[in-house]
Chains A and B, each alone.
Chain A
Protein backbone atom coordinates (compact mmCIF):
# COMPACT_ATOMS: atom_id res chain seq x y z
CA UNK A 1 0.00 0.00 0.00
CA UNK A 2 1.34 3.41 -0.96
CA UNK A 3 2.06 5.82 1.86
CA UNK A 4 0.08 8.53 0.06
CA UNK A 5 -3.16 7.59 -1.66
CA UNK A 6 -5.10 9.96 -3.86
CA UNK A 7 -8.58 9.60 -5.28
CA UNK A 8 -9.90 9.72 -7.84
CA UNK A 9 -7.12 9.02 -10.34
CA UNK A 10 -9.02 10.73 -13.13
CA UNK A 11 -11.86 13.21 -12.94
CA UNK A 12 -13.89 14.85 -15.69
CA UNK A 13 -16.23 17.68 -14.81
CA UNK A 14 -18.38 20.24 -16.55
CA UNK A 15 -17.50 23.89 -16.17
CA UNK A 16 -19.02 25.29 -13.00
CA UNK A 17 -19.09 22.03 -11.05
CA UNK A 18 -17.76 21.66 -7.52
CA UNK A 19 -14.76 19.33 -7.41
CA UNK A 20 -13.22 17.37 -4.55
CA UNK A 21 -9.92 15.50 -4.62
CA UNK A 22 -8.96 13.37 -1.64
CA UNK A 23 -5.63 12.40 -0.13
CA UNK A 24 -4.98 9.86 2.62
CA UNK A 25 -1.57 9.17 4.10
CA UNK A 26 -0.13 6.65 6.50
CA UNK A 27 3.06 8.36 7.73
CA UNK A 28 3.64 11.06 10.27
CA UNK A 29 3.93 14.46 8.67
CA UNK A 30 5.12 17.95 9.45
CA UNK A 31 3.11 19.42 6.57
CA UNK A 32 1.01 18.48 3.55
CA UNK A 33 1.27 20.17 0.18
CA UNK A 34 -1.17 20.36 -2.70
CA UNK A 35 0.56 20.84 -6.03
CA UNK A 36 -0.73 21.59 -9.51
CA UNK A 37 1.06 20.39 -12.63
CA UNK A 38 0.14 21.56 -16.10
CA UNK A 39 1.18 19.80 -19.32
CA UNK A 40 4.82 20.58 -20.00
CA UNK A 41 5.91 19.79 -16.48
CA UNK A 42 5.80 22.99 -14.43
CA UNK A 43 4.60 22.45 -10.85
CA UNK A 44 2.99 25.12 -8.73
CA UNK A 45 2.44 24.85 -5.00
CA UNK A 46 -1.20 25.61 -4.22
CA UNK A 47 -1.27 25.07 -0.47
CA UNK A 48 0.92 24.04 2.42
CA UNK A 49 -1.09 22.80 5.40
CA UNK A 50 -0.25 21.57 8.85
CA UNK A 51 -3.74 21.91 10.31
CA UNK A 52 -7.24 23.18 9.59
CA UNK A 53 -8.29 24.82 6.38
CA UNK A 54 -6.93 27.31 3.84
CA UNK A 55 -8.67 29.16 1.03
CA UNK A 56 -7.25 30.89 -2.00
CA UNK A 57 -9.73 32.20 -4.52
CA UNK A 58 -11.83 29.27 -5.71
CA UNK A 59 -9.58 26.71 -4.07
CA UNK A 60 -10.03 25.34 -0.57
CA UNK A 61 -7.80 22.80 1.17
CA UNK A 62 -8.55 21.03 4.42
CA UNK A 63 -6.63 18.59 6.55
CA UNK A 64 -7.64 16.29 9.41
CA UNK A 65 -4.46 15.29 11.22
CA UNK A 66 -6.18 12.68 13.41
CA UNK A 67 -7.72 10.91 10.41
CA UNK A 68 -4.62 11.49 8.21
CA UNK A 69 -6.75 12.85 5.42
CA UNK A 70 -6.80 15.99 3.30
CA UNK A 71 -9.13 17.30 0.63
CA UNK A 72 -8.74 19.85 -2.13
CA UNK A 73 -11.93 21.52 -3.30
CA UNK A 74 -12.41 23.63 -6.41
CA UNK A 75 -15.57 25.71 -6.56
CA UNK A 76 -17.05 26.92 -9.86
CA UNK A 77 -14.54 24.89 -11.88
CA UNK A 78 -13.19 26.30 -15.12
CA UNK A 79 -11.41 24.69 -18.10
CA UNK A 80 -8.18 26.43 -17.04
CA UNK A 81 -8.30 24.29 -13.86
CA UNK A 82 -7.53 21.26 -16.05
CA UNK A 83 -4.27 19.87 -14.72
CA UNK A 84 -2.83 17.11 -12.56
CA UNK A 85 -3.22 17.74 -8.84
CA UNK A 86 -0.69 16.08 -6.57
CA UNK A 87 -0.77 15.59 -2.83
CA UNK A 88 2.63 15.52 -1.13
CA UNK A 89 3.42 14.85 2.52
CA UNK A 90 6.47 16.33 4.16
CA UNK A 91 7.89 13.89 6.67
CA UNK A 92 10.76 15.93 8.14
CA UNK A 93 12.49 16.77 4.86
CA UNK A 94 11.48 13.52 3.17
CA UNK A 95 8.69 14.21 0.68
CA UNK A 96 6.28 11.46 -0.39
CA UNK A 97 3.90 11.98 -3.27
CA UNK A 98 0.52 10.69 -4.31
CA UNK A 99 0.12 9.43 -7.86
CA UNK A 100 -1.87 12.51 -8.82
CA UNK A 101 -5.41 13.23 -9.96
CA UNK A 102 -5.86 14.20 -13.59
CA UNK A 103 -8.67 16.75 -13.77
CA UNK A 104 -10.33 17.72 -17.03
CA UNK A 105 -12.93 20.47 -16.96
CA UNK A 106 -15.06 20.69 -20.08
CA UNK A 107 -16.66 23.95 -21.22
Chain B
Protein backbone atom coordinates (compact mmCIF):
# COMPACT_ATOMS: atom_id res chain seq x y z
CA UNK B 1 0.00 0.00 0.00
CA UNK B 2 1.51 3.33 -1.04
CA UNK B 3 2.15 5.85 1.70
CA UNK B 4 1.37 9.53 1.76
CA UNK B 5 3.00 11.21 -1.23
CA UNK B 6 3.95 14.86 -1.29
CA UNK B 7 5.19 16.83 -4.27
CA UNK B 8 7.41 18.61 -4.88
CA UNK B 9 9.97 17.53 -2.29
CA UNK B 10 12.14 20.60 -2.60
CA UNK B 11 11.50 24.02 -4.06
CA UNK B 12 12.91 27.50 -4.00
CA UNK B 13 10.68 30.53 -4.52
CA UNK B 14 11.17 34.27 -4.48
CA UNK B 15 9.44 36.64 -2.07
CA UNK B 16 6.07 37.71 -3.39
CA UNK B 17 5.53 34.58 -5.49
CA UNK B 18 2.98 31.93 -4.70
CA UNK B 19 3.41 28.20 -4.27
CA UNK B 20 1.16 25.16 -4.49
CA UNK B 21 2.02 21.92 -2.71
CA UNK B 22 0.31 18.62 -3.39
CA UNK B 23 -0.52 15.67 -1.16
CA UNK B 24 -1.87 12.26 -2.13
CA UNK B 25 -3.17 10.40 0.94
CA UNK B 26 -3.10 6.68 1.56
CA UNK B 27 -5.81 4.96 -0.46
CA UNK B 28 -9.08 4.96 1.49
CA UNK B 29 -8.06 7.77 3.83
CA UNK B 30 -10.51 10.65 3.80
CA UNK B 31 -8.84 13.03 6.24
CA UNK B 32 -5.86 15.12 5.15
CA UNK B 33 -4.10 17.60 7.39
CA UNK B 34 -1.26 20.02 6.77
CA UNK B 35 1.48 21.22 9.09
CA UNK B 36 4.33 23.68 9.00
CA UNK B 37 7.61 22.92 10.73
CA UNK B 38 10.29 25.54 11.35
CA UNK B 39 13.30 25.51 13.69
CA UNK B 40 11.88 28.41 15.67
CA UNK B 41 8.20 27.47 15.98
CA UNK B 42 8.36 23.69 15.71
CA UNK B 43 5.37 21.86 14.28
CA UNK B 44 2.22 23.89 13.79
CA UNK B 45 -1.17 22.83 12.52
CA UNK B 46 -2.33 24.55 9.33
CA UNK B 47 -5.65 22.95 8.42
CA UNK B 48 -7.52 19.68 8.14
CA UNK B 49 -9.84 18.47 5.41
CA UNK B 50 -12.34 15.67 5.52
CA UNK B 51 -14.49 14.73 2.55
CA UNK B 52 -13.61 17.98 0.74
CA UNK B 53 -14.61 20.15 3.74
CA UNK B 54 -12.18 22.15 5.83
CA UNK B 55 -12.87 21.01 9.37
CA UNK B 56 -10.38 23.12 11.26
CA UNK B 57 -7.81 25.79 10.64
CA UNK B 58 -4.76 26.78 12.65
CA UNK B 59 -3.63 30.28 13.44
CA UNK B 60 -2.16 31.25 10.09
CA UNK B 61 -2.88 34.26 7.88
CA UNK B 62 -5.27 34.07 4.94
CA UNK B 63 -2.31 33.74 2.57
CA UNK B 64 -2.34 30.06 3.52
CA UNK B 65 -5.18 28.16 1.92
CA UNK B 66 -6.00 24.65 0.90
CA UNK B 67 -8.51 22.38 -0.70
CA UNK B 68 -9.36 18.73 -1.01
CA UNK B 69 -10.62 17.00 -4.10
CA UNK B 70 -13.22 14.25 -4.41
CA UNK B 71 -10.45 11.63 -4.62
CA UNK B 72 -9.13 12.92 -1.23
CA UNK B 73 -6.00 14.42 -2.79
CA UNK B 74 -5.22 17.78 -1.29
CA UNK B 75 -3.35 20.91 -2.21
CA UNK B 76 -2.21 23.82 -0.15
CA UNK B 77 -1.34 27.22 -1.49
CA UNK B 78 0.69 30.04 -0.04
CA UNK B 79 0.37 33.39 -1.76
CA UNK B 80 2.63 36.44 -1.52
CA UNK B 81 5.47 34.43 -0.05
CA UNK B 82 7.54 35.88 2.77
CA UNK B 83 11.00 34.84 3.95
CA UNK B 84 9.42 33.48 7.12
CA UNK B 85 7.40 30.98 5.11
CA UNK B 86 10.56 28.97 4.54
CA UNK B 87 9.78 25.68 6.24
CA UNK B 88 9.10 22.00 5.92
CA UNK B 89 5.44 21.51 4.99
CA UNK B 90 4.07 18.16 6.04
CA UNK B 91 0.90 16.46 5.00
CA UNK B 92 -0.71 13.61 6.92
CA UNK B 93 -3.67 11.37 6.26
CA UNK B 94 -5.93 9.22 8.38
CA UNK B 95 -9.03 7.12 7.87
CA UNK B 96 -11.35 9.56 9.59
CA UNK B 97 -11.09 12.84 11.40
CA UNK B 98 -9.78 12.87 14.95
CA UNK B 99 -8.74 9.98 17.12
CA UNK B 100 -7.13 7.90 14.37
CA UNK B 101 -3.52 7.02 13.63
CA UNK B 102 -2.02 9.62 11.33
CA UNK B 103 0.44 8.85 8.56
CA UNK B 104 2.85 11.53 7.44
CA UNK B 105 4.36 12.21 4.07
CA UNK B 106 8.05 13.02 3.68
CA UNK B 107 7.27 16.72 3.40
CA UNK B 108 7.99 19.54 1.01
CA UNK B 109 10.98 21.72 1.82
CA UNK B 110 10.21 25.29 0.80
CA UNK B 111 12.91 27.95 0.72
CA UNK B 112 11.88 31.55 0.08
CA UNK B 113 14.67 33.86 -1.05
Q: 10 A-B Cβ contacts within 8 A? A: A41-B37, A41-B106, A41-B107, A45-B102, A48-B102, A90-B98, A94-B56, A95-B35, A95-B45, A100-B42
CA–CA, A9 and B18, complex, Å: 35
- Number of residue pairs spanning A and B whose beta carbons lie under 8 angstroms apart: 60
Size bracket of the A interface: 20 to 34
Residues of chain A from 82 to 107 with CB closer than 8 A to chain B in the complex? 86, 88, 90, 92-100
Report which of B48, B88, B104 forms a contact with A93, defined as CB distance below 8 A: B48
Known: A44-B104, A99-B42. 11 other contacts (CB 8 A): A33-B101, A33-B102, A41-B90, A43-B92, A48-B99, A48-B101, A48-B102, A92-B56, A93-B48, A95-B35, A97-B44
Q: Is the interface of A mostly helix, strand, loop or mixed?
A: strand
- Name which of A41, A44, A48 has the most chain B CB atoms within 10 A of its CB: A41
Cα separation A90 to B104 with both chains bound (whole Å):
15
Secondary structure at chain B's binding surface: helix, strand, loop or mixed? Answer: strand
Residue of B nearest to A47 (CB): B101
Inter-chain contact A41/B100, CB cutoff 8 Å: no
The reply to whether the CB of A20 lies closer than 8 angstroms to some CB of chain B is: no
Chain B interface residue count: which class? 20 to 34
A95-B35, A95-B45, A97-B42 are known contacts. Are A43 and B99 too (CB-CB below 8 A)?
no
Where the two chains meet, the residues of B that have a C-beta atom closer than 8 Å to any C-beta of A are 33, 35, 37, 42-45, 48, 50, 55-56, 58, 88, 90, 92, 97-104, 106-107, 109
CB atoms of A93 and B103 under 8 A apart = no
B43 to chain A, nearest CB (A): 4
Q: With both chains docked as a complex, state the minimum distance between the C-beta of B13 and any C-beta of chain A, in angstroms.
A: 18
Residues of A within 8 A of B43 (CB): 86, 88, 97, 100
